Amino acid sequence: MASLKDLLAQQEELAAKIAEARVKEVEGALKKIHDLIETYDITPEEVFPSLFKRARKAEKGTRAPAKVKYQDPKNPENKWSGRGPFPPKWIQEHEAAGGSRDEFLVG
């Protein structure tokens, strides 16, 4: 029976041979892939459609600004869509003084 030391040495040798064989086989596979791409004029989008579909979605992902829901009549530049965890300071100050944010509703 082989000793642990011998088996570990064999494992190391085998791992090196596996890595070497993988490099050679990947080179061959890539050459075949490149040849097929050139022969059939294949685009990256055709090979990896899911990657490019996600990229197109990301480009389309720009949203229009949210509609204004609240506006300060004293200062029309103060606008708020009603989104977010906290209202803007001008609404907070108004509510702290006993007012209602409904007074600022647009439309």
Domain that holds residue 83: 70-104
In a domain, 78, yes or no: yes
Taken as a whole, the chain contains a residue count of 107
- Examine the domain organization and report whether 28 and 76 are in the same domain: no
| 51 and 83 fall within a common domain | no
Residue 11 lies in a domain: yes
- 83 and 42 within one domain: no
Q: Is residue 10 domain-shared with residue 55, that is, in the same domain?
A: yes
Alpha helices (runs of H) in 1-107, residue ranges in sequence order: 4-40, 44-47, 49-60, 89-96
pLDDT digits (tens, 9 = 90+) for 19-58: 999 999 999 999 999 999 999 999 998 998 888 876 666 6
Residue 99 three-state SS:
coil
Give the chain's domain count. Answer: 2
In a domain, 65, yes or no: no
For residue range 57-82, what is the model confidence (pLDDT) as tens digits?
666 666 788 899 999 888 889 999 99
- pTM, two decimals, is 0.44
